[in-house]
Amino acid sequence: MKFLTLILFSFSACLLLTSCQEEAVTKEEPQEIAPIRVAKIETYAPVVKKVAPAVVNIYAFHHEETKTLVSPYMADPFFKQLFEHLQENHGDTEDSLGSGVLVSKEGLILTNYHVIENADVVKVSLSNKREYNAKLVTVDKRTDLALLKIEDHDEFPYLPVSSQDNLEVGDVVLAIGNPFGVGQTVTSGIVSALARSQEGINDFRTFIQTDAAINPGNSGGALVTTDGRLVGINTAIYSKSGGSMGIGFAVPINLAIPVIDSVNHGGKILRPWLGLGVQSISPEDAQTLGLDHPYGALVKQVYPGSPADKAGIKTGDLILKMGGKEIEDDAALDYLVGTSPIGKKVNLLILTKGGEKTISITLTTPVNSQKSDALTIKGRNPLQGAKIREITPAVAFDFGINPWEKGVVITDVVTTGPTAKLGLQPGDILESINNKKVTTKEQAVNLLESSPNFWALVIRRGKQILTLQVKG
């Protein structure tokens, strides 16, 4: 039995996956193949010439301060506390290598978040070998995407970005990036599957699967069609050895459009939501409900005041279709909603206890409230200078948190402050302070101020629980 593992290349920032699951092969009667979308292509050179100038190499540098002991006795905690000022500071630089795609003539670059994660300095190199510094515009951990901007006023070659809904399994695609740091490389393959769901890469779990060779360093590179359309951002591969095995995944470009549009909203990514907690159904459930096969998203939670709540959707309803498109599972519903325009009115086909019915619903941004206003922590404590907010659907969307969470989240950290030195990050949830559960911003401040000499912090970061003890 093989096991599912997730590996992050330190030198290339490329995600790898291994899996034990094998897809069942079904035998069907041979059908006549319609002679459509068939073209004889003897070379991809014209499309490569068109696309390659817009694909860049990315070098991300992370400066990390370390301290060197000036005496062997400094390894002892007692002497270390007395003579900590005698330690020498050194700056170590760690770097990662990846790829990116220019998506505007002004120098906007789309790449993977894991390529530039924790980077202090980001440099990009174009196909003509010219190098530029780039600044971070925004990151979207939910899709593992990031948007950069070249710090120069030149005009750059770029690939136009538009919604891509006509991609089909079997279409020929090209993957362009910088594998293993050898320089820009092009590989070809076909679309192996669409809407492929994989846990652990991003929240939407919806990918284009391709057999075009994707290797370490390809992360953030372009997946294009033979007519030069940008359809995805290469992100992850299945692998046993670290190299390509013909199973690669790309984030669909439709998920990237709100990330690119964030440049018009001060870096804020705006996506619509329904206000639902849903799950897929089992074959047994499908049979009980009278469905010919398992499909749809079963409603488990409805957020009060959300678009779904206002439209009358109830717990236990089964969403079968959205806008006429069949909902395969919960991830498919998340994808359709997340890639729809804000303000769009859509029709949902729902199976309720009374039978099937169609509900019209308008997609809006997540609910916000005064609770989500940021509060800056002051005073002498481990979170000095950090900003905290209570979790609302809007805050949850910004930081990839479950909108049904209750509590307080760190939303901003001063890089030179004590919070950053403790390793805390935006998106970390304050579970407790000195063994007392934190539920509001004011409570967090009171607990920090009431203990001037010692703080026991419990932080939740995704599925991790971090316990910190800080002496004043």
Catalytic residue (one of 12, 96, 114, 192): 114
Task: Tell me if 39 sits within 8 A of 96, measured CB to CB.
Answer: no
Q: What's the rounded Cα separation, in Å, for the pair 232 and 214?
A: 13
Closest CA to 54 of 228, 193, 213, 217: 228
Sequence-distant (6+) residues with CB within 8 A of 35 are none
Sequence-distant (6+) residues with CB within 8 A of 241 are none
Helix (H, G, I), strand (E, B) or coil at 337: helix
CA 67 to chain centre: 33
Strands, E assignment, 197-344: 207-210, 222-225, 230-238, 248-252, 276-279, 297-302, 318-322, 325-326
Length of the chain: 472
* Angle at CA of residue 471, ends 468 and 472, nearest 5°: 130
Catalytic residue (one of 219, 239, 372, 432): 219
Q: What's the rounded Cα separation, in Å, for the pair 17 and 165?
A: 27
Q: What's the rounded Cα separation, in Å, for the pair 256 and 11?
A: 25
Q: At what angle do helices 330-338 and 253-261 cross, to 10 degrees?
A: 40
Q: What's the rounded Cα separation, in Å, for the pair 338 and 413?
A: 28
Active site annotation includes 95: no
Catalytic residue (one of 96, 140, 144, 428): 144
Q: Which residues pair with 148 in a beta bridge?
A: 109, 136
What tokens does 127 get? Answer: 């196909």
Burial of 264 (0-12, 13-18, 19+ CB in 10 A): exposed
What tokens does 422 get? Answer: 């403790």
Closest CA to 54 of 152, 124, 182, 159: 159
Phi, psi of 74 (to 5 degrees): -70, -10
Q: What's the rounded Cα separation, in Å, for the pair 278 and 275?
A: 10
Active site annotation includes 63: no
The C-alpha torsion from 256 through 397 and 277 to 280, rounded to 10°, is: 30
Active site annotation includes 293: no
Enzyme catalytic residues: 114, 144, 219
